[in-house]
Amino acid sequence: MKRTRFLCWTLSLVASMAFCAQPGDAAATKAEKTEQWGSETIAVRANLAAQAMKDKKYQSAISHFRALIGLDRNNEDFYLGLYVASDKGNQPGQAVMALEELFDKKPDLKATYAKEFVDALKKANREAPEVKAAEKLVKGDSPDNLAEKKVDELVEKSLYEEIYVEPKKLEPVKRVELDPDDVHLEKTRKALTYETAFAQSENIVVAEFIGYDKNKPITYYTPPKAHYKITEYLKGAPFNKSLPIKYEFHDKIVGEEKPADWKFDEVALMPKKGSKWIMFIPTAVPLDGMLETFHGKYGRQEFNEANYDEIQRIIQEHRGATKF
């Protein structure tokens, strides 16, 4: 008999719990609160304010309610939230200000929250006439703690469950091991590109070959002075059209040696008189009466449609970053 009574009592308790757990008690989501408020920004701020009130972090709550008022100046609950947070946070002046701002927006609420206003004025040590004027608005049947009850409802209305999203694990970056010589401008042939030549050259010109000096012995490492006449300036400030060039026979790559079978041959190594060349000049300051070209031999490129078009493409890409 006792066992039967206990079983009935247990079933009754479970049924009672099931009846009390209404669907609305389930934790709300951010999306639901955004729909409720009509604004994701307000939903987030309201949640933060509610959480701060729940945790008794009143200074933080004051900040969030101030922001909420800025987002919606017609919502009386936000002013009441600011008032209650200020009152509980021992900032009576702020509490008075919150109610005054509310009454400015909605004068009809002055009588509704007259008790709270009187209390706030007294805590802020306001003048007696101001307090007495507010006391006249207090009705005998005015409920106690009305503002606080409204804010409690606001807190429950605003809270939602934060969904934790596991951050993506970042794969460690694989380091590329580089040989220093592969990126050294003077040691690698990877530097021999028009892009690099353009970036490293103060001046770029088109020039016509006139001839070269033959009064000194010409070797691999003692090249002749070659004479050109500038016909077009592509980059840099214009200068004297007479262009003396140190006519290198190699690309000036550090560590590269002279070919074993090299010997000077005018026909094979020197340009034809009247031929045109694109000259990349790192600096327009002559050494021993000659201007040097970018990486020696590489800095003299044959003038043809393909090479000229490529230089013009690079110039267009850099136009505005360099003065021509």
Give Rg (Cα) of the chain: 43
Residue 154, domain member (yes or no): yes
pLDDT the model gives residue 182:
67
pLDDT at 315 over 70: yes
pLDDT bucket at 178, cuts 50 / 70 / 90: low
Residue that is last in its domain, among 108, 128, 158: 158
Is 4 part of any domain? Answer: no
Based on the domain organization, do 142 and 223 belong to the same domain?
A: no
**Among the listed ranges 2-11, 30-39, 98-107, which one has the minimum average pLDDT value?**
2-11
Is 134 inside any structural domain?
Answer: yes
- Would the CA dihedral through 41, 47, 51, 57 be positive or negative? positive
Which of the listed ranges 118-127, 151-160, 205-214 does the model predict with the highest average pLDDT? Answer: 205-214
What per-residue confidence (pLDDT) applies to 321? 54
Q: Does some domain include residue 167? A: no
- pLDDT of residue 152 exceeding 90: yes
Q: pLDDT digits over 254-270, tens only?
A: 888 999 999 999 999 99
Q: What is the mean pLDDT of residues 108-117?
A: 90
Number of domains in the chain: 2
What token pair was written down for 214?
């033959």
pLDDT over 80 at 106, yes or no: yes
**Residue 184 and residue 143 in one domain:** no
Residues, the chain: 324
Does the pLDDT value for residue 322 go beyond 70? no
Say if residue 275's pLDDT is above 50.
yes
Range list of H helices, the chain: 2-20, 30-37, 40-54, 58-71, 76-88, 92-105, 114-123, 128-135, 146-158, 180-183, 194-200, 266-269, 305-318
Q: Scanning the structure block, which residue is given the tokens 């099931």?
A: 18
pLDDT of residue 184: 72
Task: Report if residue 91 sits inside a domain.
Answer: yes
Q: Does the structure show a pLDDT above 90 at 186?
A: no
Half-sphere exposure of residue 186: CA atoms within 13 angstroms, side-chain side: 2
Map tokens 């694990």 to a residue. 169
215 and 295 co-located in one domain? yes
Instruction: Give the pLDDT mean for 158-177.
Output: 81
pLDDT per position as a tens digit, 283-314: 999 999 999 999 999 999 999 999 999 999 99
Inside any domain, residue 206: yes
* One domain, residues 103 and 200: no
What is the domain-level CATH number for residue 117? 1.25.40.10
Q: How many CB atoms lie within 10 A of CB 24?
A: 6
| pLDDT beyond 70 at 4 | no
Q: Note whether residue 8 is domain-resident.
A: no
Q: CATH number of the domain at 238, please.
A: 2.40.50.120
Residues 229 and 272 in one domain: yes
pLDDT at 167 over 60: yes
Which residue has tokens 């945790």? 55
Write out the residue range of the structural domain in which residue 96 sits.
27-158
Contact at 8 Å (CB) between 187 and 181?
Answer: yes
Q: How far is CA 263 from CA 213, 270, 282, in A?
A: 17, 12, 28
Is the same domain home to 222 and 128?
no
| 183-208 average pLDDT score | 88
**pLDDT for the residue numbered 183:** 64
Task: Confirm whether 260 is domain-assigned.
Answer: yes
**Residue 256 pLDDT:** 87
pLDDT of amino acid 55? 94
Do 233 and 293 lie in a common domain? yes
pLDDT at residue 320 above 90?
A: no
216-232: per-residue pLDDT in tens? 999 999 999 999 999 99
